[in-house]
Amino acid sequence: MTDNAPLAGKRVLLGVSGSIAAYKSADLCSRLSKLGAEVHVVMTSSAMHFVGEATMRALTRRSVMTDLFDEPHSDRIAHIDLAQSSDIVVVAPATANLIAKMAVGIADDILTTCLLAVPKSTPLLVAPAMNSLMLEHPATQHNLATLRDRGVEILATGYGVLACQDVGYGKMAEPDEIVTAINLMFSNRGDFCGKRVLVTAGPTREPLDPVRYIGNRSSGKMGYALAQAAVRRGASVILVSGPTALASPPGVELVRVQTAEQMLAECMKAAPDCNVIIGAAAVADYRPAKVADSKMKRQSGVSITIELVPNEDIIAALTSHRSPGQFIVGFAAETDNVEQNAARKLTSKGLDLVVSNDVSRPDAGFDVDTNAVTLHWPGGNSEDLPLQSKLATADHILTRIAAAMSHV
C-alpha cells in the first residue's frame, strides 16, 4: 500500500444491521483496515445475533459502538462525533427495516442516530440485504428511491440463492464490490473541478393535442445519476431534463423541458461554455406534424392517421457546433444489434464515446435502478461494465471520460 492509496488514513464509519449478511461485514472490515482505513464500527442489537462485537473489535483494534448510551469519551457525544468526523459512512448490510428508518428519519438506536447526524457533504453508501420479496415491496422501493433522491449511493444487490432458500435478488454486494465503490468515491473526488458538464436526461413529450402526447418509457435515472456523480466530483453541472418524477440532484442547475425542440434550444444555449456534454436523454425522433388546439374526440369506428415529422438530432447538432476541446458522449438504448448500432452512432455523429445498453433486459432497461452498459471508443475499442447501480455506472463513465480527456 502506498501513501497515496485512496483509503490511506481515511476514517470510515461502518454500520452493521441485523442480517445474515453481517458475516460479510467482518470481511469488509478486514479489507478496509488492510488498505489503511481507520474503521469505526457501529452495530445494532440485531446485528450482534449474527456477528460478535469481539470480532469487529479485533479486526479494527477499536471499540465497537452498540448502545446509544455508550460514551467512551467524556468530552464528546459519541454518535455526533462518529457521524461528523467520518470521511465516508457505509451501511453493510442494510436491512429493509433500517432502510425504512433512514428514509423517514427514525433514530431509535446508536446506528440510526449516527446516520441522522451525518453531514450532507459526507458520502453515504448503503448495501441492502434482504429477501427478494421484501426488496421488491413497494414500500422498500419507495424508501430506496427516497434515499437516492437525497444523494445516498445504493449498491445493487446480487442474484442467487438467499438465506431463506428463495432464489432472486437481495444478496448483499460482495466485500470487494463495496471496497471498489468506496475507492471510486475517494479517488475520483475533485477530478472534475473547474469543468462544466451538460447532461440531458429523461424522455421528451411530443403533443398531439392539449391532453395527449407521444413519449417513451425513459425515467431519467441514468442522466440524473450522471449529473449527481459529476457534482460529487467537483463539476459545475447543468441538467436539461424532460418530464420525470425525480428530484433534482443537490448542487445541479436543473432546466426542465417537455419537447425535443425545447431540449435542443436549451442545449444549444448551454453547450458553448461546457467542457463535457453527455446526451443520456431518450429524445423522440419524431413529432406530430400538426397539434390540435383542443382535445381530439373519439369517433366510434373511425380510424385516425397521425403524420409524424422528424425532430432535429440533438447530439448531432451539438457535435456539429462543438467548441474546441469539448468531449461529447452519446447514449444508445437498443433492443437488438446493440454493438453494431452503437458503433454506427459513434461514427456517424462524430462522438468521442458512445454508451450502449440493451433496454430489453429487465435489469438494465427503463425505470430500473441498475444498468449494464458497454463503452464504445473511436478506433473500435469497447469495454463492458458490469451490472451495477446507475450511480456506480455513472462514476465509471466519468472516470473513463476524465482519463480520455487527460490524454488529449
Summarize pLDDT for 229-283 with one digit per residue, the tens: 898 888 999 999 999 988 888 789 999 999 999 999 999 999 999 999 999 999 9
Counted residue by residue, the chain has a size of 408
Q: How far is CA 220 from CA 226, 367, 390, 399, in A?
A: 10, 8, 11, 21
Q: Does domain 11-187 have CATH number 2.40.70.10?
A: no
The residue type found at 288 is P
How far the first Cα of the chain sits from its last, in Å, is 30
- Give 378's pLDDT tier (boundaries 50, 70, 90): very high
Quote the cell numbers at residue 159: 442474484
- The CATH H-level superfamily of 196-406 is CoaB-like (3.40.50.10300)
Average pLDDT of the residues in 340-366: 92
Residue 100 CA to residue 106 CA, distance in Å, equals 8
Task: Please say whether the dihedral angle defined by the alpha carbons of residues 257, 263, 269 and 270, taken in this order, is positive or negative.
Answer: positive
Domain boundaries, the chain: 11-187, 196-406
Average pLDDT of the residues in 69-91: 83
- Give 75's pLDDT tier (boundaries 50, 70, 90): low
Identify which has the larger pLDDT, 243 or 406: 243
Residue 187, pLDDT score: 67
Beta-bridge partners for 65: 42
Residue 152 CA to residue 250 CA, distance in Å, equals 11
Q: Is the pLDDT of residue 188 over 80?
A: no
Active site residue 164: yes
Residue 248, pLDDT score: 84
Average pLDDT of the residues in 299-313: 93
Q: Are the CB atoms for 363 and 158 separated by under 8 Å?
A: no
DSSP output for 50-94: TS-HHHHHHHHTS--B-STT--S-TTS-HHHHHHHH-SEEEEEEE
Predicted confidence (pLDDT) per residue in 315-335, tens digit = 999 999 999 999 999 999 899
Place of cell 469487529: 56
Phi, psi dihedrals of residue 88, rounded to the nearest 5°: -155, 150
pTM beyond 0.85: no
Q: Is the pLDDT of residue 189 over 80?
A: no
Kindly state the percentage of the chain with pLDDT values over 70: 97
Q: Is the pLDDT of residue 367 over 60?
A: yes
Q: Is the pLDDT of residue 285 over 80?
A: yes
Q: Is the pLDDT of residue 3 over 50?
A: no
Residues 6+ apart with CB under 8 A from 342: 332, 334, 354, 356, 374, 376
Same topology, domains 11-187 and 196-406? Answer is: yes
Q: Which of 114, 164, 193, 274 is catalytic?
A: 164
